[in-house]
């Protein structure tokens, strides 16, 4: 099976590879009327997975909506995207389409074609707006709504308008999920963990009705098959020995990492004459010194004030051959932050949980913390230590 190598954007159709077990489990949840939070480290393929679920549910006759909030910075922009995507999918109730009705005027105003304007600085006006939207969504037919990069948008609201706005949004989404006999299923996913966001703000109750759907890197068999499919797609011969060598270099079989390394391999001069271990080594070295993993550094800004502490931990772990115990990390963290023992201990626990959830680090035998990916570890060392 040959597939094209698409690095970065979500893959769809025949380019989606593997995840057979996870797809089956997710379909079971959706069929039994559960909503999901796709809980997985960044770049693991959450958006691609969600889009594949949409393809499958559309084939069953469901109405489906995909809303990507990356780059959305205001409530007005959020509402315009929401309205436009709901329009395309036809999930409005009869009240929303009644000409001259309040709901119809509301939708037209948000789309920028009506006379009504909204003042988001007043709580009552804002709440009335979202209450009206709540009332005009059709809950009577099977529907899947995917909200991608929700946490990025919530972080912007939290930073620019305060916690109250992000809390309001989370509670509004929860109220939509609580409608009696609703046939709408929701999926939240994104490159910054929603669980991290809610836990750090004591808002976990706003999503505790959703199933935390965990999935990790590919299995060895799936990763091997992905390299083989990519090599067939590019007509680059890679035998089993070299495929194993590639995967041993990566260690953690994130599709994005596999595709990045494969891109560096295929761009090597004369790659179509055959791939050697020397070519793989050179491609790997070029990758860990590139800017291709830059988002892993940039996204720490979403850590609600914990970015400096997270960087301290990652810097020390990138220098350690075997990893560090929590006691060792606590001593380093306390020294570098100047916090009291009590505050340092609490912040360290919070940051370690966030970094583990987002796939930067893992807890190894004996409680040792280390980078989950040797590729990411070396990149971090070259960028922030060497």
Mean pLDDT to the nearest integer, 71-85: 82
Mark 113-143 as b/e (b = at least 16 C-beta within 10 Å): eeeeebeeeeeeebeebbebbeebbbeeebb
**pLDDT tens digits, residue range 95-104?**
566 555 545 6
**Does residue 8 register a pLDDT over 60?**
no
Of 117-126, 135-144, 212-221, 330-339, where does mean pLDDT reach its minimum?
117-126
Phi, psi of 300 (to 5 degrees): -65, -15
Rounded to the nearest 5°, which phi and psi values hold at 235?
A: 55, 45
pLDDT score recorded for residue 118: 47
Given the candidates 3.40.50.300, 3.90.950.20, 3.40.140.10, 1.10.3470.10, the CATH classification of the domain at 19-214 is 3.40.50.300
116 pLDDT above the threshold of 60: no
Distances (CA, A) of 208 to 93, 276, 357: 27, 50, 17
Q: Is the pLDDT of residue 114 over 50?
A: no
Cβ-based neighbour number of residue 259 at 10 Å? 18
Two structure tokens written together for 293 = 């993993």
pLDDT band at 328 (very low <50, low <70, confident <90, very high): very high
113 has pLDDT over 50: no
Domain boundaries, the chain: 19-214, 220-288, 305-384
The reported pLDDT for the residue numbered 41 is 73
Cβ–Cβ under 8 Å, residues 350 and 360: no
Among residues 332, 318, 336, the alpha carbon closest in space to that of 383 is found at 318
In eight-state DSSP terms, residue 34 is -
pLDDT of residue 124: 56
* Average pLDDT of the chain, as a whole number: 84
Residues 189-216 have a mean pLDDT of 84
The residue-averaged pLDDT of 87-98 equals 70
241 — pLDDT class (breaks 50, 70, 90): very high
CATH code that applies to domain 305-384: 1.10.10.10
Which helix (H) or strand (E) segment is 58 a member of? helix 46-59
CB of 39 closer than 8 Å to CB of 120: no
Measured CA angle at 252 (ends 247, 258), to 5 deg = 55
| pTM score of the predicted model | 0.75
What average pLDDT does this structure show over 237-256?
A: 91
CA angle 229, 244, 14 (to 5 degrees): 15
Helix (H) or strand (E) holding 356: helix 341-357
The reply to whether 305-384 shares the fold of 19-214 is no
Taking every pair of Cα atoms in the chain, the longest distance, rounded to a whole number of angstroms, is: 70
CA atoms within 13 A on the CB side of 151: 28
């Amino acid at each position: 099976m040959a597939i094209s190598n698409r690095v970065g954007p979500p893959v769809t159709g025949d380019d989606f590879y593997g995840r057979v077990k996870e797809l089956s489990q997710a379909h079971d949840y959706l069929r039994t009327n559960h909503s999901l939070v796709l809980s997985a480290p960044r770049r693991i393929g959450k958006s691609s997975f969600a889009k594949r679920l949409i393809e499958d549910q559309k084939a069953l006759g469901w109405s489906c909506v995909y809303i990507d909030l990356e780059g959305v910075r205001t409530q007005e922009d959020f509402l315009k995207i929401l309205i436009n995507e709901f329009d395309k999918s036809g999930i409005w109730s009869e009240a929303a389409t009644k000409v001259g009705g309040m709901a119809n005027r509301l939708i037209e105003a948000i789309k920028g074609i009506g006379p009504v304007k909204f003042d988001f600085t007043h709580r009552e006006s804002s709440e009335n707006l979202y209450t009206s939207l709540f009332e005009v969504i059709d809950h009577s037919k099977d529907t899947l709504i995917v909200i991608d990069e929700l946490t990025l948008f919530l972080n912007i609201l939290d930073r620019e308008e305060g916690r109250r706005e992000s809390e309001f949004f989370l509670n509004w989404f929860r109220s939509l999920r609580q409608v009696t006999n609703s046939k709408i299923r929701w999926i939240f996913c994104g490159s910054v963990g929603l669980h991290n966001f809610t836990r750090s703000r004591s808002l976990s109750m706003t999503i505790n009705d959703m199933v935390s759907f965990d999935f990790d890197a590919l299995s060895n068999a799936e990763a091997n098959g992905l390299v083989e499919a990519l090599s067939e797609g590019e007509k680059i011969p890679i035998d089993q020995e070299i495929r194993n060598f590639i995967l041993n270099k990566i260690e953690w079989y994130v599709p994005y990492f596999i595709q990045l390394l494969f891109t560096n391999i295929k761009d090597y001069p004369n790659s179509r004459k055959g791939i050697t271990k020397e070519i793989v080594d050179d491609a790997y070295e070029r990758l860990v010194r590139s800017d291709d993993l830059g988002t892993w550094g940039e996204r720490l800004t979403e850590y609600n004030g914990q970015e400096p502490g997270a960087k301290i931990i990652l810097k020390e772990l990138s220098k350690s051959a075997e990893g560090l115990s929590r006691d060792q990390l606590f001593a380093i963290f306390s020294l570098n932050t100047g916090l009291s023992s009590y505050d340092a201990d609490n912040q360290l626990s919070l940051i370690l949980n966030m970094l583990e959830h987002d796939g930067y680090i893992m807890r190894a035998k004996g409680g040792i913390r280390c980078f989950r990916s040797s590729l990411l570890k070396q990149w971090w060392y070259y960028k922030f230590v060497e």
